[in-house]
Structure 1
Amino acid sequence: MSKPAIGRDTRLCMSLSARPGNFGSRFHNHLYESLGLDYVYKAFSTKDLAAAIGGIRALNIRGCAISMPFKEACIALIDELTPSASAIESVNTIVNDDGHLRGYNTDYIAIAKLIASHAISPQSRFALRGSGGMAKAVAAAFRDAGFEHGVIVARNEPAGRSLAAVCGYRWQPQLGDLRPLLLVNVTPVGMAGGAESADLAFAEEAIDAAEIAFDVVAIPSETPLIRAARARGKRVITGHDVIVLQALEQFVLYTGMRPSEAQVRAAAAFAGG
């Protein structure tokens, strides 16, 4: 199916992030091409969030993906939160319907789907490292899936305690001697280009004792944590799994179309996540 040439009727979708990447643009544009949709997607950064959100409304931009550090700050600038966003007070997707800006959290949707598809028992004890906007989405998804035995590991005590209290978990600044069956990293540890890109999110002793390692870092998807867990024969869930699912749900929200599994696989491979 041939995609129309870009013209005055082409719909624009975009992303806002402190550190824009290529995955979203490549993933969405590949699907627009595959499905013959008159859309185009472009990543942006901004130092003026209010003006950027105003531009979405003023220019009738169809949708916008929101990444760190804007997931919470954008809430005051939009018109409505859907349950996926209001439950955790964090937005990663804005959909514009004739100037009405509605906030979603497809991170939450993606995590919930991964928990279900990997058949992780709600009786599993888990440790989640992190306390930011993405950590809110992950912790809430585990809570809503019935997980009762969790600990939030975060150096930021106010944020860590708050997240733990909201979700009914415990907080502690370090993992210490805990040896949960499920380790979840929701920090930049292991992210390419960062100061901690070569670091393990959890100590080797904790990885040895765990059954599943889940790292939301998507670039690279084979983080030090994931590599260490694979080497030990552990089950893993990668940030690539997360980024593909959350981007797919954004695509559906923007276009009203759900591509086939084969089309999603092809777009994800093209995006190179």
Structure 2
Amino acid sequence: MTARINRDTRLCMSLSARPGNFGTRFQNYLYEALGLDYVYKAFSTTDLAGAITGIRALDIRGCAVSMPFKEACIALIDGLEPSAAAIDSVNTIVNTGGVLRGHNTDYAAVASLIADSGLSTRTCVALRGSGGMGKAVACALRDAGFADGTIVARNAVAGQRLARQAGWAWAADMGGVSASLLVNVTPVGMDGGPEAGQLAFTEAEVAAADLIFDVVAIPVETPLIRLARALGKPVITGGQVIVLQAVEQFVLYTGVRPDQALIAKAAAHALA
């Protein structure tokens, strides 16, 4: 694919504090398989405003947005699509003729996975974390009808704000909180992070739950997911989320929707 890059090749990118390889491998695999004249590259930045200006100035077609830029980028773009406006969090910027619009494909991915889980909306939820991904998950659960939930976050300001947005309770820790659906939206368990190898919930909390959902995608088999599987609990993994949301980003950038067989091949390549 690199040998075919030319002056007309469209560039897509990502912005993250800690860039990974998933998006680059996933998107470029699909571009090549479908013969699309696109290329994708991951970036980090200490100058978010300058990076967003660059997207517009260089006619970069699209940009995936990860921690910690999902909320900070909003003031720098031209508007929000409903998926992002509803939760004040952006994970995708699409550039159309110099107009930058924010989307949130995380929300759609989570909503789809929750619907497929068959979990009763009467299930009580404990969601650990309060960042941009936390907003996407909490609001997707709220909109699916899950009314009994607790945001567990040490940051009282962010935690209480998200709890109000979801219509749930807030707690600083899991003390006194019991839940049948446990959701981790923090970096706990992420490869390369300061809490790699750690559990987002205790073994007792996992044992008492009905379903475990960990949004951490690298590794897909996080310590929390491995523990849940060992205890015979059904799981939703970050790998499932990252693939579904990446497909929607690909469609937004290119206008092409790959078939499921090709998506599976791209996911296997990107997660290998």
Q: TM-score range by the shorter chain?
A: over 0.9
Q: Distance in 2 between matches of 1:182 and 1:223?
A: 17
Residues 25-104 of structure 1: matches in 2 within 5 Å?
25-104=24-103
Question: Which letter does structure 2 place at the counterpart of 1:201?
Answer: A
Q: Distance in 2 between matches of 1:107 and 1:164?
A: 19
Q: Which residue of 2 aligns with 1:166?
A: 165
State the identity %: 68
Q: Deviation at 1:187?
A: 0.3
Question: Which letter does structure 1 place at the counterpart of 2:96?
Answer: D
Residues 203-222 of structure 1: matches in 2 within 5 Å?
203-222=202-221
Q: Distance in 2 between matches of 1:4 and 1:96?
A: 25
Q: Distance in 2 between matches of 1:195 and 1:50?
A: 27
Q: Which residue of 2 aligns with 1:266?
A: 265
Question: Which letter does structure 1 place at the counterpart of 2:22?
Answer: F
Q: Which residue of 2 aligns with 1:123?
A: 122
Residues 124-203 of structure 1: matches in 2 within 5 Å?
124-203=123-202
Task: Mark the CA change 1:3 to 1:192 in structure 2 (over 3 Å): closer, same or farther.
Answer: closer
Q: Distance in 1 between matches of 2:153 and 2:193?
A: 18
Q: State how many pairs are aligned.
A: 272
TM-score normalised by L of structure 2: 0.98
**Partner SS for 1:112:** helix
Q: Which residue of 2 aligns with 1:114?
A: 113
Q: Which residue of 2 aligns with 1:224?
A: 223
Q: Distance in 2 between matches of 1:197 and 1:166?
A: 30
Q: Deviation at 1:4?
A: 8.7
Gaps of 5+ in 2: none
Q: Deviation at 1:184?
A: 0.3
Q: Distance in 2 between matches of 1:59 and 1:234?
A: 47
TM-score normalised by L of structure 1: 0.97
Gaps of 5+ in 1: none
Q: Distance in 2 between matches of 1:191 and 1:272?
A: 14
1:64 touches 1:95 (CA, 8 Å); kept in 2?
yes
Following TM superposition, where does structure 1 have runs of at least 4 consecutive aligned residues deviating by more than 4 angstroms?
Answer: none
Question: Which letter does structure 2 place at the counterpart of 1:74?
Answer: C
Q: Are 1:253 and 2:257 matched, yes or no?
A: no
Q: Distance in 2 between matches of 1:197 and 1:31?
A: 30
- Aligned CA RMSD, in angstroms, stands at 1.2
Q: Please give the per-residue CA displacement for 1:182-216, whole angstroms capped at 9, x wherever unaligned.
A: 10000011011122112111111111110100000
